[in-house]
Structure 1
Amino acid sequence: MRAKTAEEEVPKLSPRKDQASDTEPTATVPTTASFKGQLLRFQYNSTTSASDDASPKSPVSVRSPKRTRTAVTIAATTDDGLTEPSPRPQKKRKSSSYAPSSRYAHLSPLVDILEPNLICVFVGTNPGVQTATAGHAYAHPSNHFWKLLHASGLTDRRLSPTEDRSLPAKYCMGNTNIVSRPSKNAAELSKEEMVAGAGELEAKFREFRPEAVCIVGKGIWEAIWKYRKGRAVRKEEFRYGWQDEEMNMGKIDGEESSPGSRVFVTTSTSGLAANLRPAEKEAIWRPFGEWVQKRREERGFVPRKEEGSVQKK
């Protein structure tokens, strides 16, 4: 027999199954290549595959877990040597801003501007420090009372606070407060004295019998409501403007000819009351101004000279 050559003794090798079919070698080895060439071919493929598997992988940065906040507990030592957590400190409530009347004892209460059978009487909260010092109603420059009186037609011009006592003679109007003592602001009054002041108002209106009462501010009406009904006014029960006849003030029991004074609730005139815009306040005040003008005409009211005033020549 003829001895087999070295090329014939080389077994035919098939490509690896894990070799990708779409991988093309960089060099093509002819079929007539030597035994060493064929080995190099497969060595090349093996090396390529191995290099893919053995290629160093880029390090993956692992984010450290977020630091958890640990609750700080202040421990207190008991008599027996054990420790127990101290209670969490509680927020202290701010003390009420109520101020006793003695704080403003050096100030005099404001004089009521009242006389019988006026068309209307305005009811404020109480005199502020500047008002009490000046001795005239709504004297603080930031208060819009005199401005709103003019804008709503209640006065024919903007009056000065020093002209407050001319209201009955010139316009058939008056002024009083639910609380007589002065304070820096309404927060320094107690709810109890506000409610008690409502009872004093009833007595004044039974005596002077104005046609209408204008409540200057929601807080005043809430105190009157509580005095009359023994409870707070509900949100759905409150409204600006004319109130129901049952809420007339200054009624005299058993006297049919005295139905009491009609009640109109309007906005506060304080410069601190910014819950409504100036135009919104004027819109609430205007219907009352129109009603007062109409009543002056129906009565044939004629302004008179103030007592003690000097008539200019």
Structure 2
Amino acid sequence: MDSVQGVSTSPAAAVFKTRLSKFKYAKNPENTERNAKTPVKIQQRTAKHTRPIEADVAETAIASSPRPKKRRAPSKYADPSKYAHLSPLVDILEPNLICVFVGTNPGVQTAAAGHAYAHPSNHFWKLLYTSGLTDRRLRPEEDRSLPDLYCMGNTNIVERPSKDAAELSKEEMAAGTANLDAKFLKYKPEAVCIVGKGIWESIWRYRYGKNMTKADFKYGWQDEKDNMGKADDEGELDATGEIWKGAKVFVTTSTSGLAANLKPAEKEAIWKPFGAWVQKRRVARSFMPKAVANEGDAEQGVAA
């Protein structure tokens, strides 16, 4: 047994310590010195997905660019009372005109101005000029001089003003078609120019009781069966004493600034054949423009 002071050790304990020393970790002086001089490389953990620089650039561009404009909410039917404070336009009609333009209805700004196609974004007066229907670009305030200067007139399928055509009802458009036929039977123009596909679709729906198909529609001159203002019998005569068969129909594009389905050059190409035809008819009739003394005379107009 070992003494209390730990001076002597038993033989068994000595043998155990000898065996245990075999498993003791021995430091290598060379390794210790080398490890002390060599810095330990620590591998840093990298992100699994590195964010590309392009993403930061794209986000910066998006942040600096203006927000896209909100899309205009579609219109829906509006009761006539909504625009009761606005007056309808005066029809510009006279007997035996070469042509009469047919619009949908007066817009709010047009009704407030009291002149046809008065909205600054509308291209009606520009297209009349570029197609040869007028020899200069008229101002909306000159609309009532159309008969005297160019043997042309203007009316609408619906009289009451609204923000756009979506605020009108199908019943109004149908009733407007009947009114147009009555006007054209009374004044007997050689031709009517429908200013917009939607107007012709409404007239077609009223006449044939069905929607127009893609195969049914075409810009330009329509078939004789589609003439407007035809009489119920063949006893009606035109200004030349011939049997009145109704006014020929030419369908052209809308002139609204919102109608962007066709490019300006495409619209002009559709309008030009009608301009050329009207010019020929003026020559054939030996039409001479009447002098319009001043703007006040044009304001008087000719009411339907």
Instruction: Normalising by structure 1, report the TM-score.
Output: 0.67
TM alignment of 1:1-313, pairs within 5 A: 97-255=76-234, 257-306=243-292
Partners of 2:214 and 2:260 in 1: how far apart? 19
Which has the larger share of helix?
2
- Aligned residue type for 1:291: W
Give the secondary-structure state (helix, strand or coil) at the position aligned to 1:107: coil
User: Is 2:204–2:212's contact at 8 Å kept on the other side of the alignment?
Assistant: yes
Partners of 1:95 and 1:266 in 2: how far apart? 24
Question: How many residues are matched?
Answer: 218
User: Is 2:194–2:250's contact at 8 Å kept on the other side of the alignment?
Assistant: yes
**Runs of 4+ residues deviating >6 angstroms:** 307-311
User: Is 2:142–2:295's contact at 8 Å kept on the other side of the alignment?
Assistant: no
1:6-59 superposed Cα distances (whole Å, 9 cap, x missing partner): xxxxxxxxxxxxxxxxxxxxxxxxxxxxxxxxxxxxxxxxxxxxxxxxxxxxxx
Q: What residue in structure 1 maps to residue 50 of structure 2? A: none
Partners of 1:156 and 1:246 in 2: how far apart? 32
Give the secondary-structure state (helix, strand or coil) at the position aligned to 1:269: coil
With a CA cutoff of 8 Å and minimum separation of 6, indicate the structure with the bigger relative contact order. Answer: 2
1:238-277 superposed Cα distances (whole Å, 9 cap, x missing partner): 0000000000000112226010000000000000000000
Partners of 1:131 and 1:309 in 2: how far apart? 18
Larger Rg: 1
Partners of 2:192 and 2:105 in 1: how far apart? 16
Give the secondary-structure state (helix, strand or coil) at the position aligned to 2:154: strand
1:199-231 superposed Cα distances (whole Å, 9 cap, x missing partner): 100000000000000000001001111111111
Partners of 1:195 and 1:307 in 2: how far apart? 39
Give the secondary-structure state (helix, strand or coil) at the position aligned to 2:233: coil
- Aligned residue type for 2:275: G
1:72-95 superposed Cα distances (whole Å, 9 cap, x missing partner): xxxxxxxxxxxxxxxxxxxxxx99
CA separation of 1:309/1:164 partners in 2, compared to 1, >3 Å: closer, same or farther?
closer
Instruction: Normalising by structure 2, report the TM-score.
Output: 0.69
Deviates more, 1:184-193 or 1:174-183: 184-193
Partners of 2:81 and 2:105 in 1: how far apart? 15
After TM superposition, give the deviation of residue 234 of structure 1 in Å: 1.2
- Runs (5+) with no aligned partner, structure 2: 1-72, 236-242, 298-304
- Runs (5+) with no aligned partner, structure 1: 1-93
